[in-house]
Chains A and B, each alone.
Chain A
């Protein structure tokens, strides 16, 4: 011990002693802040990592389709990089989530499971519809170019915004809406440019979210 331990760490064996209101207010403030941090899986660092993942994953797909004439879609190497990064990201998020929610039970856990199921269902629907487009003879530029990132990001962004609004997580709401708008606007960039535009746009949006989280934590 260095003699500067904070009030949170000060153990009181006999609890009926003197307890100054100022100390109580500090302890209350520290305990609440510490508990909220430990129970919340969201962190500026995780968001920062998310921004990098988005940029690298979409960047790999853009590099794999750049210069294609006619457009055939992302190559196997590009998809491998994207899925590899995505799997790594899912592992990190899952571990962080498990650590934050260890020992937690009740309504919010049930809600999180329902949200997760809704997101998976939405992504499955997007993929099924992609199959329908292919089946109906729509060009590769749409089926493997404009449609996948646009539809998936619009669904994920707006669904995320709705979930964040339910929790009154306004930075989360903002980034969800921003991702939806970036996805819709990027569709104008065409089947090749859409990957780059989505990657850069979503990366900037998530970086903004990370900055907002950091500011809220330290204000």
Chain B
């Protein structure tokens, strides 16, 4: 039985952007029920605060991340977490990528160059 080939259009456009992919992948490394402060997230993915806010807003509008602000004034703190929907979207995105790259030999060793074949994607 022939299977329908996966196309680029099937990649979630909200995640298929380097900055947002980094945000979602970083938040996915947290355990379920955990959140990361805005400051730590910014430090980990090395984006400017303005850039990060813009991307987070898009992800929040789609229901992929949730933000909670606690406290007031200088002591206020914003925490960011990946929602179940966001986690599912990243899993679907990963599956689509795997389908797109299926023809490649994913067992090849990873090199330090950006164009190297990726390791098998995490499940």
Cβ-closest chain B residue relative to A20: B115
A7 lies within 8 A of chain B by Cβ: yes
Count of chain A to chain B residue pairs whose CB atoms are closer than 8 Å in the complex: 116
Contact A23 B97 (CB under 8 A): no
Q: In the complex, what residues of B have CB within 8 A of residue A102's CB?
A: 37, 40
Task: Please judge, given known A-B contacts A21-B11, A22-B101, A108-B31, whether A27 and B22 are in contact too, CB under 8 Å.
Answer: yes
Q: A7-B114, A35-B28, A107-B31 are in contact. List 11 more A-B contacts (CB 8 A).
A: A8-B22, A11-B47, A21-B97, A24-B97, A26-B114, A28-B21, A28-B25, A28-B97, A29-B119, A31-B25, A106-B35
Q: In the complex, what residues of A have CB within 8 A of residue B101's CB?
A: 21-22, 25
Q: In the complex, what residues of A have CB within 8 A of residue B22's CB?
A: 8, 27, 31
Question: Out of A4, A24, A104, A107, which one reaches B21, CB within 8 Å?
Answer: A24
B44 lies within 8 A of chain A by Cβ: yes
Q: In the complex, what residues of B have CB within 8 A of residue A106's CB?
A: 30-31, 33-35, 81
Question: Out of A11, A19, A24, A103, which one reaches B36, CB within 8 Å?
Answer: A103
Interface code A100-128, partner B: CB below 8 Å = 1, 0 otherwise?
A: 00111111110000000000000000000
Task: Please judge, given known A-B contacts A15-B55, A26-B116, A32-B122, whether A109 and B20 are in contact too, CB under 8 Å.
Answer: no
Give the CA-CA distance A57 to B115 in the complex, in Å. 49
> Which residues of chain B in 13-38 are interfacial with respect to chain A, using CB atoms and an 8 Å cutoff?
16-22, 25-26, 28-37
Q: How far is the CB of B70 from chain A (nearest CB, A)?
A: 9
Contact B18 A25 (CB under 8 A): no
Contact B37 A105 (CB under 8 A): yes
Contact B100 A21 (CB under 8 A): yes
**Interface residues on chain A, number (Cβ under 8 Å):** 35
Cβ-closest chain B residue relative to A7: B114
Question: Out of B18, B110, B114, which one reaches A12, CB within 8 Å?
Answer: B18
Q: In the complex, what residues of A have CB within 8 A of residue B79's CB?
A: 105
Cβ-closest chain A residue relative to B90: A28
Task: Please judge, given known A-B contacts A12-B18, A103-B41, whether A22 and B117 are in contact too, CB under 8 Å.
Answer: yes
